[in-house]
Amino acid sequence: MKGWLNFIRTFFKKKEGEGSLRETLEELIEEEEVADTSLAPDEREMLTNILNLRDLTAIDVMIARAEIIGVPYESSLDEVKNTFKTSQVMRLPVYRQTLDDILGYIHLRDLLDVHPKTFKLQDHLHKIDFISPSMRVLDLLLKMRSTGEKLALVVDEYGGVDGLVTMGDLVEEIVGDIQDVAQMTTPLHFFRRPDGVVIVDGRMDIESLEDKIGSIRTKEEEAEDIDTIGGLVLHLTDRVPQRGELISHSSGIEFEIIEADSRRIKRVGIHGLPSHTS
């Protein structure tokens, strides 16, 4: 345990400008005998996750553009509050006409002690960094740690927004899934885009989902031991599909894999639902 604590201590003392975080880790791994049996299983898993980040770039961990939830620049206080409530996030990008024209982000705490008559969204904007899809995850983590920024927009060569990376996403890549208080006390994420596509967390209970969008399972699927929407997709494919795949269902709908890793389906888009579903 002592060796692991020294590793972490040295890791976080590393200053910006002394080389990339990736290089720092490689140096520390050589100095520390990371195969030491004194490391607990969870510590080994965390270190393995850090090592696995060496070859990942921003595009590998970003929230896809289709899933980014933001608010227009002209939004009222009630509109911003409602978006925070339905999205269950702490920060929302603010844009003019489209997501390609993002001005910054607003934090939930900025809404404390504000009056609707004096509220101006532009008075509460925080900076969002713009990064390349090829930026290394470890270098991005170092940058965020040094600047204190919590969000970064992934943009293509023409300036269009491809996705969004949060500090929370990067931390989860190291320590695993984080279940926060909101997740423990509220239903898992459910969001309907203006085009009718429903975005859900892969862990959302399938019966709760059907209460919102109507029955989608066949009688055979209902008889199976399937608890979540991610489980249903796995049942259809017998594997963990990759991000961007479209999985057809006999009901006529399609499941779009918005976010997934090698172990589980994290976020699913449901296409082809009747317009009258809630």
Phi, psi of 6 (to 5 degrees): -65, -40
- pLDDT, residue 53, reads 63
Rounded to 10 deg, the angle between the 137-147 and 21-31 helix axes is: 100
List of residues 6+ apart from 158 with CB closer than 8 A: none
CATH of 60-175, one of 3.10.580.10, 1.20.140.10, 3.40.50.970, 1.10.1510.10: 3.10.580.10
- Give CA–CA dist 49/34, Å, rounded: 13
Reported as a single tens digit per residue, the pLDDT across 108-122 is 888 887 888 888 898
Instruction: Give the dihedral sign, CA 20/128/53/244.
Output: negative
Tell me what the pLDDT averaged over the chain comes to. 77
Phi, psi of 57 (to 5 degrees): -120, 175
Q: Does domain 187-271 have CATH number 2.60.40.10?
A: no
The domain ranges of the chain are 2-55, 60-175, 187-271
Comparison of pLDDT for 235 and 22, the residue scoring more: 235
- Give CA–CA dist 149/49, Å, rounded: 22
SS (H, E, C) 211-225: HHHCCCCCHHHHHCC
- Give CA–CA dist 163/44, Å, rounded: 30
Beta-sheet pairing, 63-64 with 161-166: antiparallel
Rounded to 10 deg, the angle between the 206-213 and 229-237 helix axes is: 100
The H-assigned helical ranges of 62-111 are 77-87
Phi, psi of 256 (to 5 degrees): -100, 125
- pLDDT, residue 90, reads 86
Name the band, by pLDDT with cuts 50, 70 and 90, for residue 105: very high
pLDDT higher than threshold 70 for residue 228: yes
Phi, psi of 184 (to 5 degrees): -80, -15
Reported as a single tens digit per residue, the pLDDT across 120-161 is 898 899 988 899 999 888 888 888 878 878 889 999 888 889
- pLDDT, residue 29, reads 47
- pLDDT, residue 249, reads 92
- pLDDT, residue 270, reads 94
Reported as a single tens digit per residue, the pLDDT across 55-98 is 778 888 888 888 888 999 999 898 998 888 877 788 899 999 88
Comparison of pLDDT for 54 and 89, the residue scoring more: 89
Reported as a single tens digit per residue, the pLDDT across 250-262 is 989 999 998 887 6
Calculate the CA 153 to chain-centre distance.
12
End-to-end CA gap in the chain: 51
Name the band, by pLDDT with cuts 50, 70 and 90, for residue 187: very low
238 and 227 in contact (C-beta within 8 Å)? no
- Give CA–CA dist 151/144, Å, rounded: 8
